[in-house]
Structure 1
Amino acid sequence: MTFKTLIRAAAVAALAVTAAGAASAQDSSLRANFGEISLNAGFTPDPYTVSITAGGSVNGGNLPGACTGMISNAPDFQVTYRAGSLPLVFRTISSADTTLIINGPDGRWYCDDDSFGDGDAEVRFSRPQSGVYDIWVGTFSGGTARATLSITETP
């Protein structure tokens, strides 16, 4: 292996590590900041709500897709869901401009900013999968804010 080839290989390896770090900044294996719940289709009360502190020091814009907002490394909340025929909808409610980032059971990232109106976010799964939903509630402008995460099957 020539010196030039060795340098090129090292540069490619460094780039791969950097890209992987940016995509995996959020660690769903960490304990959720504000707890977890298991819900089955048809759950009551509906909506299920939890008070959280939105925001953090990690830029959610580094995740795949159209994610935005400042979030924490650990999920804010975790839902283990057994699906039925109803949709599953996650919403934020806050006086601050909040964002929503969800890592679904399929490993994909789902993101929103402002779809619920007035600076609040909403992610809707029309045909939800059974499994774990790791949820981050971010703040659009940074800092932290009090927020409510609402989980419902009745949009």
Structure 2
Amino acid sequence: MKYCHLWLLIPGGWLLTALMQMITTPALAQTANFGTISLSVGFEPSQGKVSGYMGGSYSLSTMSNRDRDQKACIGFADPNPDHIMILEKDFEKLKILVNSGGYDTTLFIKGPNEETVRCGDDTGRSKDASVSDKDWKKGTYRIWVGTFNPGVKHNYTLTIEQN
């Protein structure tokens, strides 16, 4: 038994590598910094509004450099998602918008089943981010509201709209 732990000390050991990845990669959290929102088709506009504060030093591009449409995924946020959105049915179209009063924000949305990534940055002339897309499958989505620069913190309102 005294030799069991020696392989942990061997440079390049597979377990050491795996442990380091677990330590430096955020877990796919089951909880969010600012809660969970559940939506069904035909939801009231007030049900699609949540708020929080953005910011952090975790680079969102480490989770994915590009989304499903090859848009760049950028920004900095907390390693845990800010919101969890549960879609109780498939949605043909959704639009997710950040209102931070004009600060430079980004969006990173992952789900369902961690398979689909959607990213957003500036919306038109606004520095606030948005994602407008079709084919939202039933399931759980993790949403990060990021900032263009690390360590910046500002309040925001996140609005989810049916198109």
Confirm or deny a common fold (TM above 0.5).
yes
Instruction: Name the TM-score class by shorter chain.
Output: 0.7 to 0.9
Q: Residue 90 of structure 1: SS of its match in structure 2?
A: strand
Which ranges in structure 1 are unaligned for 5 or more consecutive residues? Answer: 1-9
CA RMSD in angstroms comes to 2.8
- The answer (yes or no) to whether the contact 1:75–1:135 under 8 Å persists in 2 is yes
Counterpart in the other structure of 1:40: 40
Between the aligned partners of 2:22 and 2:124, the Cα distance in structure 1 is 31
Aligned length: 146
Change beyond 3 A, Cα 1:85–1:77: closer
- The answer (yes or no) to whether the contact 2:39–2:48 under 8 Å persists in 1 is no
User: Percent same amino acid among aligned pairs?
Assistant: 33
Give the letter for the 1:60 counterpart. L
Within-5 A mapping of 1:22-61: 25-45=25-45, 48-61=48-61
Which ranges in structure 2 are unaligned for 5 or more consecutive residues? Answer: 1-10, 67-71
Between the aligned partners of 1:93 and 1:25, the Cα distance in structure 2 is 29
Give the letter for the 1:101 counterpart. F
Between the aligned partners of 1:79 and 1:116, the Cα distance in structure 2 is 25
Q: Residue 61 of structure 1: SS of its match in structure 2?
A: helix
Match of 2:104 among 97, 100, 110: 97
Between the aligned partners of 1:124 and 1:20, the Cα distance in structure 2 is 33
Q: TM-score, normalised by structure 1?
A: 0.78
Q: TM-score, normalised by structure 2?
A: 0.75
